[in-house]
Amino acid sequence: MSVNATTPKSTVGPMVIIGALFFIFGFVTWINGPLITFVKLAFSLDTYSKAFMVTTAFYMAYFFLALPSSWILERTGMKKGMALGLLVMAVGTFIFGTYATQRNYNISLAGLFVIGSGLSLLQTASNPYISILGPIETAARRISIMGICNKLAGILSPIVISALVFKDVRDLDKRVAEAGSHEAAEAILNEFAAKIYAPYMVMALILVVLAIWVAKSSLPEINASEINAEPVGDASLAREKTSVLQFPHLLLGALCIFLYVGVEVMAGDAIGAYAQGFNIPPEETTVYTSFTLGAMLVGYIIGLFTIPKVMSQGQALKLSAVLGIVFTAGAYLTAGYVSVAFVALLGLSNALMWPAIWPLAIAGLGKFTEKGSALLVMGIAGGAVIPQLFATLKDSYDFQLVFLLLMGVCYLYILYYAASGHTAGKK
């Protein structure tokens, strides 16, 4: 890795700022788990496939906005781009809080799409930024630190939102069913939906303050195209690349990110719907996302102390995929709380995947780093597609079998990428 004047002399200050951003990523992103239960109740949705539009709207924003985000960042630079992303998130948070209170599902989903759009811009900037802030060989360790910030927020957000919104929700369906009139039933649902307003308005305000802080901070600009210029394979061949699509390890990595985010969201956001398949009450399942995120936090801490001293990024990814297969099988072969516990344990197997996949996929992209990062961010759309497949298929087939097949295929591909996919085109 070559280092130039754009590389900061100390990484501590920039990492504190980026760590704060990753905390925000986590808090906003992992609210989606309890939000699935919230919208199903507040909007009287009759199927989980409709409720899972929460994750579909949120994560599809990454697919549509990733490449435009890379163009924006080329013009604004990473620092201003991060500030802009926070402002876009604030707008989306305001929209969702306002229209969810009014029980307008379509515009509420549009608000989630806007939040995802802002996060797309932030992710496109912050992930390569932290990867190339120091040696690419230790990028997984730095991303693990960011993951700890992200997952701490992810543990907190379902607990906070459940305490503020889901208090006294146990008998909501019963009270609606026993309401004397349609108007009375609507009044009960309106009262429940209104509980989401204050938390989202507070989040919008915090996002605006953070945007101003980042814009005025001492966060240095990094020239990703120059710093991440380590040749891939034959040096002359690497210099002759004319398109980001000429890096097989990147394209395979984008698919790996797609499948990884799918299994991460399944373990984190879909765990409530999975648990309710065993007739576990909704008011209990709304905090289950925190259990998954707790397991992920343990995984990030392990990665912090083991990569690259004990194992390489590729070895960590291989071990994670194997654990994912084992825990998925455990969830299928058991039932009730034990099965749900295996789903939560998937957080442990998923923890080191993002920190390992990202640097393996962008290694040596040079001037294509921003566009390569955008392709990887597009892969986050897996969080929209795979959980929606689960929600749709579980209405017709055994939910445990559907979970096993979807997760099994994803983890097998991730294992392939860890074993050999990340070296494609480098020889």
- Which pLDDT belongs to residue 257? 96
d(CA 59, CA 55): 6
- Which pLDDT belongs to residue 227? 53
Spatial CB neighbours of 174, under 8 Å, sequence gap ≥ 6: none
Residues of the chain above pLDDT 90, percent:
55
pLDDT surpasses 60 at 229: no
- Which pLDDT belongs to residue 219? 76
Q: How far is CA 207 from CA 18, 70, 151, 162, in A?
A: 14, 21, 18, 21
Confidence of residue 237 (pLDDT cuts 50, 70, 90): very low
pLDDT surpasses 90 at 75: no
- Joined together, the tokens standing for residue 232 give 């891939």
Tell me which of 68-72, 191-195, 261-265, 288-292 is least confident.
68-72
Confidence of residue 373 (pLDDT cuts 50, 70, 90): confident
- Which pLDDT belongs to residue 235? 42
pLDDT digits (tens, 9 = 90+) for 245-304: 889 999 999 999 999 999 999 999 999 999 999 999 888 998 999 999 999 999 988 888
pLDDT digits (tens, 9 = 90+) for 115-135: 999 998 888 788 777 766 777
d(CA 347, CA 366): 32
pLDDT surpasses 60 at 108: yes
The DSSP code for 302 is H
pLDDT surpasses 70 at 226: no
pLDDT surpasses 90 at 98: yes
Q: Are 73 and 125 in contact (CB under 8 A)?
A: yes
Secondary structure, 3-state, 127-182: HHHHHCCCCHHHHHHHHHHHHHHHHHHHHHHHHHHHHHHCCCCCCHHHHHHCCCCH
∠ CA 218-219-223, rounded to 5°: 130
- Which pLDDT belongs to residue 110? 97
Tell me the whole-structure pTM to 2 decimals: 0.85
The DSSP code for 36 is H
pLDDT surpasses 90 at 425: no
∠ CA 329-335-340, rounded to 5°: 75
Average pLDDT value for the chain:
87
d(CA 236, CA 363): 16
Q: How far is CA 257 from CA 82, 136, 262, 413, in A?
A: 21, 18, 8, 11
pLDDT digits (tens, 9 = 90+) for 296-348: 999 988 888 888 788 887 899 999 999 999 999 999 999 999 999 999 999 99
pLDDT surpasses 90 at 142: no
Residues of the chain above pLDDT 70, percent:
91
Which contacts qualify for 235-238: CB closer than 8 Å, 24 or more apart?
Answer: 238/364, 238/366
